[in-house]
Structure 1
Amino acid sequence: MHTPFVSQRLSLFSSVGKNAPPRHLGTRLNADGEFLHELGNTVVCHLVEGSTTQSAIIKARQQLLDMPEASAHLAFTPVSSLHMTVFQGIIERRRTWPYWPKEMPQDASIDQMTTFYRERLQNFPKLPSFSMEVTGVTPNGLVMKGVTAEDDRIVAEWRNAFAEAFGYRHPDHETYEFHITFAYIIRWFDPACLPLWQRALDRCLDELRSAAPIIEMRPPAFCEFSDMKHFEELIVFDPI
């Protein structure tokens, strides 16, 4: 009997073998799919407003929204929030090194930390631009990497420079997978529905790579946020 194909990446969303809820449930969002306050700051590239890329990504996002299980299992962020994280800043619930700089008190407010980084980032070096492409689609969104090996090198240079400015490197600093989040999972999927999802995700990837082979994004920006629905740009780092 033929077993329908489900990729290893998609199988991570299956309820099989799961004894705990999805990791962001209760901190980033609740079981009703409502986003909770989770203050922090970060460095992201937003999509270029009105671009071909934005249209193609909105279409891909809608295709996932239209899947029969989507509303029960996923909480989608607004289109206006779509971005690729370049470097993870600090967040309210993670206040120990290596997620928080050693030189700042662990009870500093998020506003104090954002002010601290706004001052530190005034001397951020000028770096080259980089180009990214989509290499995968999951129920969470898009998986990204540099278009060329040189793009991978440059985006790593940006991350290293931000690590210097922020005063820490997360354990996954060297292996961080770039992505654009569409949604957060609120409950695991019945494995029976995953083959249908696999076909939809594969179709999304093919259409998106054809429509937007290079993802048009704004320059990296230092942002503050109070939840996952909006990232306010405070400092934009125009490349060389």
Structure 2
Amino acid sequence: MKHLVIFVALAFSTHTLADTIIVQSTTSTQNSGLYDYLLPLLKKDTGVQVNIVAVGTGQAIKNAMRCDGDVLLVHARSDEEKFVADGYGEYRRDLMYNDFVIIGPKADPANVAGAGDVIEALRRIRQAGARFASRGDDSGTHKKERSLWQAAAIDPDAGSGQWYLETGSGMGATLNTGVSLGAYVLSDRATWISFANKQDSTILFEGKPALFNQYGIIPVNADKCPNVNREAANTFTQWLLSETGQAAIAAYQVEGKQLFFRTPARLHSTIELK
């Protein structure tokens, strides 16, 4: 580990790397503008040029499994851990976090704002016959949403095309659908804050532990995917995990609001390729 720290420090200081890497990423980090802010700072420090492929978490993982990418940055922990356990990733680190929120019309016909927990909030939506717009794209947000419906003992597929509307799209497009139809939507907070077309919709439910949203970062295993630029991928990863990278993540704001938070060192969890 000491050798890795020394290597990364030298890479930061000498600016000798001129490599290009592909990052398979969740859409929320792209939609929020985080990469537009972070990547110039990273390139200045390391010389690494980063190309982002922003898709839903499920698709990002599939792309990385096909060796189409050097680093994976997503938010579906169990799938990330399986990715590493199956030999596709070298290691996984907690990178940052924020949370999910339920968006809906200010009139709040299902009285979601009065719910005691997220399970009750979803049950109120169903009982009121209110519309709910889902990404329906196997993204990290979609996976989270489906797990919450399951916990609420509700099968949304039974109402597909009626009250349950699957867009098959990213977060921004799904929010546009929800806002235009006066539907409820589960969104990551960062995308909602950055979203311009809020109209008459607002955050109605937030701040519960069940809505915690952890992001992980995984360099793709070069032994599995020989085209991976292992050196540049690890430089990118270690810069984001360094004090410099973590401070930059924490400093990023939209409309005066912090969008992503560093994971405290004592809470960092790791899974290594065996």
TM-score normalised by L of structure 1: 0.28
Question: Greater CA radius of gyration, 1 or 2?
Answer: 2
- For normalisation by structure 2, the TM-score amounts to 0.26
Question: Greater strand percent: which structure?
Answer: 2
Higher helix proportion: 2
